[in-house]
Amino acid sequence: TTAEWQAADARHFLHPFTDFKDLAKKGSRIIKKAENIYLWDSEGHKILDAMSGLWCVNMGYGQQPLIDAAAQQMKELPFYNAFFQTSTTPAIELAEVLAEVAPPHFQHVFFTSSGSEGNDTVVRMVRRYWDVLGQPNRQVIIGRINGYHGSTMAGASLGGMSGMHAQGGLPIPDITHIDQPHWYELGGSQSRDEFGITAARWLEDKILAVGPDRVAAFIGEPVQGAGGVIVPPATYWPEIQRICDKYGILLVSDEVICGFGRTGNWFGCETMGSKPDLMTFAKGVTSGYIPLGGVMVGERIAKVLIEQGGEFNHGFTYSGHPTACAVALANIRLMREQDVVRKVREELGPHLAQRFAELAKHPLVGEVQTCGMMGAVQLVKDKATRKAFDSALEVGMVCRTHCFNNGLIMRAVGDRMIVAPPLVMTVAQIDEMADLIQKVLDLTLAELNQ
């Protein structure tokens, strides 16, 4: 029974990002099966998954080509490593295909099993690059407050989540942060475009404060995901690029969420107008069917590491795991066959934007933001003054509970409700999701007015 599953769950399973005691008290929702964009829990409730699992099931659930690819590869060669001059054909083929879909200056990839491992790899690769070039002082990597780059020591340090830094002595040395390009909270009376320049210049201020000859790289998500789908002003990333170029600093785009079509291009940096030196990816590369991540390495770094770097003493047992690579190949093939990236850019993204613009009229909603197939709805006490609710009210959690009770999975980041639904949604399914959001906003408002 559900109660038995919940009891065993609480007894043995320490869940990520979870208050263990709280979980034992409330019990988890047990998800049993899924198809297309819908989940079913152990009580038989049907739920629209507006978060694509955890920003990853981009092609939706039940995709037979991905299932077949895993089964066939497992039969033929479930595992072999890529250490000591061995390789496997799925890993080689995937590296080739990634070089095709990435911006043309990316012709090399280093495989990992997750986004966190990808960002750890970035830290080592960036520092190695400057070492090889005889500039070992360039150690400092600049990230952003409220950015998320994973849960390993380096990933969590690059990220700027205060709750994570408070546990375990983070950040590790030589990682520092600037504030996020969150216009609604920090923009004051500036236009979005003016604020984009202001926020980018915080990077220049930081570089000058640290000392330009000590700064190795800047890392950011094209659109901050876990931070609350913070879509930066259009002026932000081009100005960041200009500043990185001016000081010769490496630019790293964390594409773990934004990669693989989410923003309407293969990679988010293409949507935002930057040309990074490194891109980390994970999640959508396999639509989350199997763990796989990696780092796309641009020509500037690849050339130095290959020609002058010698052995790079870094790697994982599962770097280039053949079964994971076979699933990624099937996933990318399917994305291409179904023209998913163009559809997000030209059809689905614009429809989501239109439906979210309607939600902006709701009395609870201060602003909405969308980018491709991701969106945010900021709940506020007063639309005119942008005054937030008293945090003790936990309005985001109130809204999330109504989502849960009404067959919708949305995420609450404080009082910001966010979605990143599967990229295979139809226009009618976007309408179904937007209607449900309208309904949960009404229910939340009614509860607050009680």
Please say which residue, 50 or 256, places its beta carbon nearer to ligand PLP: 256
Please say which residue, 6 or 331, places its beta carbon nearer to ligand PLP: 331
CB of 409 to ligand PLP, least distance (A): 15
Question: Which distant-in-sequence residues (6+ apart) come within 8 Å of 9 by Cβ?
Answer: 23, 27, 28, 30
Written as one letter, the residue type at 288 is G
Candidate segments 219-227, 268-276, 296-304, 378-386, binder of ligand PLP by CB under 6 A:
219-227
CB of 374 to ligand PLP, least distance (A): 11
* Sign of the alpha-carbon torsion through 98, 104, 108, 114: negative
Number of residues forming the site for ligand PLP (CB under 6 A) = 15
Query: Exposed, middle or buried by CB within 10 Å (0-12, 13-18, 19+), for 391?
Result: exposed
Please say which residue, 225 or 322, places its beta carbon nearer to ligand PLP: 225
Q: Binding pattern to ligand PLP, positions 234-263, x when CB under 6 A?
A: --------------------x-xx------
Question: Which distant-in-sequence residues (6+ apart) come within 8 Å of 120 by Cβ?
Answer: 112, 150, 152, 153, 154, 155
CB of 276 to ligand PLP, least distance (A): 13
Please say which residue, 332 or 436, places its beta carbon nearer to ligand PLP: 332
Residue 436: what are its φ and ψ, rounded to 5°? -65, -40
Which residues within the stretch 278-297 sit at the binding site for ligand PLP (CB under 6 A)?
A: 282, 293
Residue from the set 53, 115, 187, 276 that interacts with ligand PLP by CB under 6 A: 115
Candidate segments 98-106, 113-121, 129-137, 376-384, binder of ligand PLP by CB under 6 A:
113-121
Please say which residue, 6 or 114, places its beta carbon nearer to ligand PLP: 114
Please say which residue, 115 or 264, places its beta carbon nearer to ligand PLP: 115
**Residue 150 interacts with ligand PLP (CB under 6 A): yes or no:** yes
Q: Binding pattern to ligand PLP, positions 169-208, x when CB under 6 A?
A: ----------------------------------------
Please say which residue, 207 or 292, places its beta carbon nearer to ligand PLP: 292
Beta-sheet strand order (sheet of 175-178) = 106-112, 293-298, 278-281, 250-254, 215-220, 140-144, 175-178
Please say which residue, 222 or 366, places its beta carbon nearer to ligand PLP: 222
CB of 151 to ligand PLP, least distance (A): 6
**Residue 149 interacts with ligand PLP (CB under 6 A): yes or no:** yes
Residue nearest to ligand PLP (CB): 115
**Residue 226 interacts with ligand PLP (CB under 6 A): yes or no:** yes
Question: Which distant-in-sequence residues (6+ apart) come within 8 Å of 247 by Cβ?
Answer: 207, 212, 215
Question: Which distant-in-sequence residues (6+ apart) come within 8 Å of 274 by Cβ?
Answer: 222, 237, 238, 240, 241, 251, 253
CB of 58 to ligand PLP, least distance (A): 13
Other beta carbons within 10 angstroms of residue 399's beta carbon come to 26
Cβ proximity of 15 and 377 under 8 Å: no
**Residue 114 interacts with ligand PLP (CB under 6 A): yes or no:** yes
**Residue 148 interacts with ligand PLP (CB under 6 A): yes or no:** yes
Closest residue by Cα to residue 113 from 282, 261, 260, 232: 282
CB of 224 to ligand PLP, least distance (A): 8
Candidate segments 220-228, 320-328, 347-355, 419-427, binder of ligand PLP by CB under 6 A:
220-228
Question: Which distant-in-sequence residues (6+ apart) come within 8 Å of 369 by Cβ?
Answer: 184, 229, 230, 231, 356, 375, 376, 378
Q: Which residues bind ligand PLP (CB under 6 A)?
A: 114-116, 119, 148-150, 221, 225-226, 254, 256-257, 282, 293
